[in-house]
């Protein structure tokens, strides 16, 4: 975790909690926090989203609130600075939950959402470096070099961003935003825009936002699975521990989760080497770390 990333996460926590302090709903707090992370360029979301193999930046986002189980999501959206706001447009301005590809982009542009700049020269050079690494996968050593490149990217914190929140009315909300994974094929969709996989929120149980390798998260519908365990009486810590163990044993997948119960108990857990995350209840200073076994119940 760089100093800039830590400062950005603190700002995001303050922005989200600031909305709650004003009496805004949890959905507003989640969107505010994620918009700040998307605009930073420091994470794999918004203007920092990775380029796909064809050199195009396509992004996914979703959010959900737990009172009415309302949800919205976009997949493969282009040109938009804040995909999380595009996901909210789908929820509030259409009868749908998920829009994908060019129609999602057209909807966002119709509502005049801010556009993002073209990919930077640095991003294009990074893509070409990764593509050259693919070409060297002619031996176990070549494959190992590529894995090392990807591991460094993950360690640098260039992953999905997300947030969960609980407001004064007792409503929980969750959201997530991403540029996908390094070297993904155009058309690939991960867990982030899939309700029940990348995020889920239900006032009767809690809210979850996921990060990690989407293919494994999808196969276990991890966000909904964690929420279902909390609905059955398990704590946030116990719920996410059980699902992460299942992910590791059945799929050998890697993920991290932000988990929040309606009573304010929470957990931040991961089975990856690092997960840059933080929490704040408005007292003292925000807690931001890159390794977590954190929870309050």
Q: What is the dihedral of CA 18, 21, 23, 26, to 10 degrees?
A: 60
| Rounded Cα distance, 119 and 124, in Å | 7
pLDDT computed for residue 62 by the predictor: 98
Bigger pLDDT: 151 vs 182:
182
**Active site residues per annotation:** 160
Q: Is 152 exposed, middle or buried (0-12, 13-18, 19+ CB in 10 A)?
A: exposed
Q: Render pLDDT for 207-234 as a digit per residue (tens, 0 to 9).
A: 999 999 999 999 999 999 999 999 999 9
pLDDT computed for residue 144 by the predictor: 45
Q: Is there a contact between 48 and 158 (Cβ–Cβ < 8 Å)?
A: yes
pLDDT computed for residue 149 by the predictor: 43
Bigger pLDDT: 101 vs 52:
101
- Angle (CA) 92-86-266 rounded to 5° is 80
pLDDT computed for residue 253 by the predictor: 94
Q: Which residue, 175, 172, 158, is CA-closest to 73?
A: 175
Q: Which of 199-213, 214-228, 234-248, 264-278 has the lowest mean pLDDT?
A: 264-278
Percent of the chain with pLDDT over 70: 90
pLDDT computed for residue 292 by the predictor: 80
Tell me the angle at which helices 83-93 and 26-40 cross, rounded to the nearest 10 degrees.
150
The rounded Cα 191 to chain-centroid distance in angstroms is 9
Q: Which residue, 172, 169, 168, is CA-closest to 262?
A: 172
Q: Which of 72-76, 188-192, 287-291 has the lowest mean pLDDT?
A: 287-291
In this structure, what DSSP letter does residue 250 have? I
Q: Render pLDDT for 101-158 as a digit per residue (tens, 0 to 9).
A: 999 999 999 999 999 988 888 878 888 887 776 665 544 544 444 444 444 444 444 5
């Amino acid at each position: 975790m760089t100093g800039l990333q830590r400062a950005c996460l603190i700002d995001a926590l303050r922005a989200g909690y600031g909305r709650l302090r004003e009496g805004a709903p949890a959905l507003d707090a989640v969107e505010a926090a994620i918009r700040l992370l998307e605009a930073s360029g420091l994470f794999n979301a918004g203007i920092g989203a990775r380029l796909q193999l064809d050199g195009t930046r396509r992004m996914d986002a979703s959010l959900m609130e737990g009172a009415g189980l309302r949800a919205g999501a976009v997949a493969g959206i282009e040109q938009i600075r804040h995909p999380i706001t595009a996901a909210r447009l789908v929820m509030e301005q259409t009868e749908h939950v998920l829009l994908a590809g060019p129609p999602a982009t057209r909807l966002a542009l119709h509502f005049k959402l801010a556009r993002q700049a073209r990919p930077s020269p640095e991003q294009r050079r990074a893509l070409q470096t990764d593509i050259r690494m693919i070409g060297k996968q002619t031996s176990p050593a070549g494959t190992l070099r590529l894995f090392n490149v990807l591991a460094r990217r993950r360690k640098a914190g260039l992953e999905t961003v997300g947030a969960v929140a609980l407001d004064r009315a007792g409503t929980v909300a969750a959201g997530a935003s991403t540029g996908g994974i390094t070297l993904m094929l155009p058309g690939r969709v991960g867990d982030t825009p899939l309700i029940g996989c990348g995020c889920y929120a239900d006032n009767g149980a809690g809210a979850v936002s996921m990060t990690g390798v989407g293919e494994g998260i999808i196969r276990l519908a991890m966000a909904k699975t964690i929420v279902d365990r909390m609905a059955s009486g398990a704590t946030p810590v116990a719920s996410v521990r059980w699902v992460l163990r299942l992910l590791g044993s059945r799929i050998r997948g890697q993920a991290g989760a932000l988990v929040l119960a309606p009573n304010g108990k929470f957990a931040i857990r991961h089975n990856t080497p690092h997960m840059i995350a933080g929490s704040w209840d408005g007292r003292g200073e925000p807690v931001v770390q890159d390794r977590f076994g954190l929870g309050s119940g």
